[in-house]
């Protein structure tokens, strides 16, 4: 008989999140702890604490490239401690599913969030880097979807991944902070100097957004410029995947009225008209929970 619950894991951010989730995608119990120390042991313990005969399986979303068949992490640039981690060694007897975390988050939005009624969408997670997930006919496509590592500047700057000119170098939180810091270093006038009390290297995307809203030109330009490149990426996504929606997630969507609005303007100029007309560009709705909900949904999707 099909069981009513599954366990979803979101692994790879600053926190390890594990949740007991219903078939519908409701989070019933959750555990959140810093992903430090012995991650494998923390993960094992957290899952053990939620396991019961009512649990159909465990789904794990990992920041990085995964081996879905082998149930392993191939490489996690942001959390190198888990490179090569083999989840089969957790030793649980229930079925196990492993996905990239941005893919899992997209599935989460499809299950319970902004994508619930949308058959075909691409989700972009805009944080320190830029992640992606592709939902086609209601199902998560088992693709890398590393949209943040699509080159939009063939001769652009070097990315840590080895490529040149990757999308995330121009529109991620890291990119926004970098652009603001470089301008401040070069002596540009900006209220960010006061906000950061003289230590410009402490500037956050929130500081930049708040300053922009209070009329700081530098901050506004930095956000608009990043938004423009996000728009280049969104136009590429539209021309390739022709989705019904592009769902945007991650901390940066807090800057919607400057950063995302600029992205939408740029994408509208660049994408095929006939494809742009049918696409909605909308915010995700689950926030930090998308990852665990989507990871748990992997169990019921297959």
- Nearest CA among 296, 301, 302, 298 for reference residue 6: 296
Q: Which CB, 60 or 237, lies closer to a second copy?
A: 237
CB of 141 to a second copy, least distance (A): 6
User: Distance of alpha carbon 47 from its chain centroid, rounded?
Assistant: 23
Q: Note the residues at the interface with a second copy (CB under 8 A).
A: 65, 74-75, 132, 136, 141-147, 149-155, 161-164, 170, 229, 232, 235-236, 238-242, 269-275
CB of 251 to a second copy, least distance (A): 23
The answer to whether the beta carbons of residues 274 and 242 sit under 8 Å apart is no
Which residue in this structure is represented by tokens 């270093």?
185
Alpha helices in 65-100 (DSSP H): none
Q: Which CB, 262 or 289, lies closer to a second copy?
A: 262
Which residues does residue 249 pair with via DSSP β-bridges, in sequence order? 125
CB of 295 to a second copy, least distance (A): 19
CB of 271 to a second copy, least distance (A): 7
CB of 146 to a second copy, least distance (A): 4
CB of 266 to a second copy, least distance (A): 9
**Separation between Cα atoms, residue 25 and residue 5, nearest integer Å:** 9
Q: Which CB, 82 or 235, lies closer to a second copy?
A: 235
50, containing H or E segment? helix 39-50
Q: Which CB, 18 or 241, lies closer to a second copy?
A: 241
Q: Which CB, 90 or 164, lies closer to a second copy?
A: 164
Q: Which CB, 58 or 82, lies closer to a second copy?
A: 82
**Separation between Cα atoms, residue 7 and residue 98, nearest integer Å:** 12
CB of 144 to a second copy, least distance (A): 4
Burial 258-285 (b: 16+ CB within 10 A, else e): bbbbbbbebbbeebeeeebeebebbbbb
**Separation between Cα atoms, residue 50 and residue 22, nearest integer Å:** 12
110, containing H or E segment? helix 101-112
**Separation between Cα atoms, residue 166 and residue 277, nearest integer Å:** 27
Q: Which CB, 27 or 275, lies closer to a second copy?
A: 275
């Amino acid at each position: 008989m099909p069981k009513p619950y599954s366990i979803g894991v979101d692994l790879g951010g600053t926190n390890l999140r594990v949740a007991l989730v219903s078939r519908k995608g409701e989070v019933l119990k959750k555990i959140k702890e810093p992903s430090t120390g012995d991650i494998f042991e923390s993960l094992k313990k957290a899952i053990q604490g939620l396991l019961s005969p009512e649990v159909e399986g465990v789904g794990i979303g990992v920041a990085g490239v995964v081996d879905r068949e082998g149930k392993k992490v191939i490489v996690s640039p942001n959390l190198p401690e888990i490179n090569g981690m083999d989840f089969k060694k957790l030793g649980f007897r229930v079925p196990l599913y492993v996905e990239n975390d941005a893919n899992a988050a997209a599935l989460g939005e499809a299950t319970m969030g902004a994508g619930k009624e949308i058959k075909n969408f691409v989700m972009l997670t805009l944080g320190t880097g830029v992640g992606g997930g592709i939902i086609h006919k209601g199902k998560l496509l088992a693709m890398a979807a590393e949209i943040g590592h699509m080159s939009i500047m063939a001769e652009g700057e070097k990315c840590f991944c080895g490529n040149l000119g990757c999308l995330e170098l121009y529109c991620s939180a890291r990119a926004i902070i970098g652009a603001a810091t470089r301008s401040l270093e070069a002596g540009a006038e900006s209220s960010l100097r006061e906000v950061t009390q003289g230590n410009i290297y402490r500037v956050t995307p929130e500081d930049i957004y708040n300053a922009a809203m209070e009329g700081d030109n530098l901050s506004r330009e930095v956000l608009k410029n990043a938004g423009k490149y996000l728009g280049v990426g969104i136009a590429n996504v539209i021309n390739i995947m022709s989705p019904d929606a592009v769902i945007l997630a991650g901390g940066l969507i807090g800057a919607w009225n400057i950063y995302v609005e600029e992205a939408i303007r740029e994408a509208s100029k660049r994408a095929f008209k006939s494809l742009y007309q049918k696409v909605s560009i909308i915010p995700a709705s689950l926030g930090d929970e998308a990852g665990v909900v989507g990871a748990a949904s992997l169990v019921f999707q297959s």
